[in-house]
Each structure stands twice: as C-alpha cells, then as structure tokens.
C-alpha cells in the first residue's frame, strides 16, 4: 500500500494541515536518503525520512500507511521516532527560551504557559 508523503505527514500529525505538509516538501524540508522529495512522492512501509520543522530535525521510520487523519494515539503506532536525544534537547531549549523572556506589554503568563514553565524548571 502507498500514499502521498504530504498526506501521510498530515495523517500522522507531524503537520497541523496538509497545506503545511505540502509546503514543507516543496521547501526541501522533507528528505528520504538525503534527497528532497516532492509532495506527490508515494511513501511505503519501512522507509526512513528526515523532517525539518521549527529548526528541529525529526528522523522517522514509516510503520504503517494512513491517508486519513486519525487520533494521536493511533497515529503514533504508524511511525517510529528515531530522532536523536540531541535534537530532542533542542526542543526543550527552544520552549524554555520562548517562555523565559517575555516581550514588553505581553503581561503575565497564561495558566498554560505557567504550567509549561514549571514543568521545564522541575526537570
């Protein structure tokens, strides 16, 4: 079974919309074996891909083919995240920096932002 890479990236919730997935493919942010691929590339089970999203490089292995968006728990069963720890640490650093410094005029952090700050500080 095969499906388009942009559709699969959207279905497994790597990108919020299919348009964002298509734009990422066109911009060269989705690669298979070091080569940028088009949004119409037909992906199969077992392929490994690199997805660059917000300065983070995710390394994913396709375990299942989806062409419709599903819940997050089902989506996680269809790919294996092979992203190295160093890249995952970048995510924490980016989140921490975004909450650590607030621009003038933004006011107090929201309840959600405050919980995220507390969670990051306790690690």
From the first residue on, what is the mean pLDDT of each consecutive set of 10 residues in the chain (123 residues)? 94 95 95 94 94 88 93 94 81 65 76 83 69
Helix (H, G, I), strand (E, B) or coil at 24: helix
Question: How many whole angstroms separate alpha carbon 89 and alpha carbon 69?
Answer: 28
What are the structural domain ranges in the chain?
1-83, 84-123
Residue-level pLDDT at 87 = 75
CATH fit for domain 1-83, picks 3.10.290.10, 3.40.50.720, 3.40.50.300, 3.40.50.2000? 3.10.290.10
pTM (2 d.p.):
0.73
pLDDT value of position 98: 61
Q: Helices 111-122 and 85-100, interaxial angle, to 10°?
A: 130
99-122: b or e for each residue (b if 16 or more CB lie within 10 Å)?
A: eeeeeeeeeeeeeeeeebbeeeee
H or E element: which one contains 92? helix 85-100
């Amino acid at each position: 079974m095969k499906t388009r890479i942009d559709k699969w990236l959207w279905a497994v919730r790597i990108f919020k919309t299919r348009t964002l997935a298509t734009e990422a493919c066109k911009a060269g942010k989705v690669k298979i074996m070091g080569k940028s691929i088009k949004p119409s590339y037909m992906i199969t089970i077992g392929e490994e891909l690199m997805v660059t999203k917000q300065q983070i490089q995710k390394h994913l292995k396709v375990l299942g083919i989806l062409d419709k968006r599903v819940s997050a728990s089902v989506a996680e069963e269809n790919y294996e995240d092979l992203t190295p720890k160093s890249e995952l640490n970048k995510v924490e650093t980016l989140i921490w920096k975004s909450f650590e410094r607030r621009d003038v005029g933004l006011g107090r952090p929201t309840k959600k932002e405050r919980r995220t700050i507390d969670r990051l500080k306790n690690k």
